[in-house]
Amino acid sequence: MEQTLSLSSRDIEQFHDLGFLSIPRITTHDEIAHVRGLYDRLFEQRAGWNNGDFFDFAGLDDLGTPATVPQLSEPSRYEPALKDMIFRKNAHALAQQLLGPGAELVFEHAILKPAGIGGETPWHQDEAFYPRFTNYRSLTFWMPLQPVDQFNGCLEFIPHSNNGPLLQHRSIKNDKRIHGLEALGVDESGKVICPLDEGGATVHGYRTLHHAAPNRTDGPRRAYALAFGVRSKAYTLREEFPWNLAKETAREKRAASAQGIMGRYLAGLKKSGKTIIR
């Protein structure tokens, strides 16, 4: 895979119309095999636990109970080799086609659904997770590190939801101690299930409704997601979404205490609903 990928004008149209696109091949089998090893080591070590980058997306984030949807934010901070991936280079090139030349990586995360116990990722829009100072609108390349289908948790999408409103969200099971969100009032009758072969990926917009089923198989479902956006130079600040303001997660507490006195101060301001200058 020498050359970087490019999308056809039809692909680009489909992405903007439906809100998602499947890319049959975004990297090589060799890269997937190599990254699987790095990925498994990061999850075994719970890299980033102390500063809140590693947490259970769908549970109470308590070390005594196995996480059903463990997530590692910013994995390349803990494994710099991930910055050199063909996946990253290709995703960046495609993001520039979809968003314009100013598209840059804004966020990355790894989400594991462990064999047998991997939980559901409820329907949500990524925009619902945006903190109030977010200055971009992202799209996300989601690449599994093994084949995926509806039995181990491939992504599913609601076509055209990218052009609809941001729905109300709440913490999973309406439990504010849980980081993950679920959208309310989703009509999933038109959903499209996107299985992928190894080396493929999907890309979806910041407002596209998406979901992943539990992993019912006896192998892990590993996924690696890269989000790109064009940062606005204008100063943007809006009210924090109420479902994020309401959260009281163990992850947030670890993050605040790792950031020291300033982190705890900013976390306190967030809870008091006052403006945070950043």
Between residues 211 and 270, which has the closer beta carbon with respect to Ni ion? 211
Nearer Cβ to Ni ion (69/82): 69
Could you tell me how many residues of this chain bind Ni ion (CB under 5 A)?
A: 1
Number of H helices, E strands in the chain: 6, 13
Give least dist CB 204 to Ni ion, A: 8
Give the Cβ contact number of residue 101 at 10 Å: 8
Closest contact distance (angstroms) between CB of 274 and Ni ion is 29
Question: 259 is written with which tokens?
Answer: 């950031």
* Cα three-residue angle 30-31-34, rounded to 5 degrees: 85
Q: Where are the alpha helices (DSSP H) in 46-172?
A: 86-99
Binding mask 115-154 for Ni ion (x = CB under 5 A): -----------x----------------------------
Which CB atom, from 31 or from 122, has the smaller least distance to Ni ion? 122
| CB 126 to Ni ion: min, Å | 5
Q: Residue with structure tokens 């990586």?
A: 105
Cα–Cα dist 161/217, whole Å: 29
Q: Which of residues 2-31 bind Ni ion (CB under 5 A)?
A: none
Nearer to Ni ion, 131 or 273 (CB): 131
For residue 147, the Cα-to-chain-centroid distance in whole angstroms is 18
Q: Which is nearer to Ni ion, 78 or 141 (CB)?
A: 141
Number of neighbouring beta carbons within 10 Å of residue 219 = 14
Task: Work out whether 108 is an interface residue with Ni ion (CB under 5 A).
Answer: no
CB under 8 Å to 82, separation ≥6 — which residues?
Answer: 35, 38, 75, 76, 88, 108, 224
Cα–Cα distance, 258 to 263 (Å, whole number): 8
Task: State the nearest-atom distance from the C-beta of 210 to Ni ion, in Å.
Answer: 6
Nearest to Ni ion by Cβ — which residue? 126
Nearer to Ni ion, 126 or 182 (CB): 126
Residue 234 CB, nearest approach to Ni ion (Å): 25
Site for Ni ion, rule CB under 5 A: 126
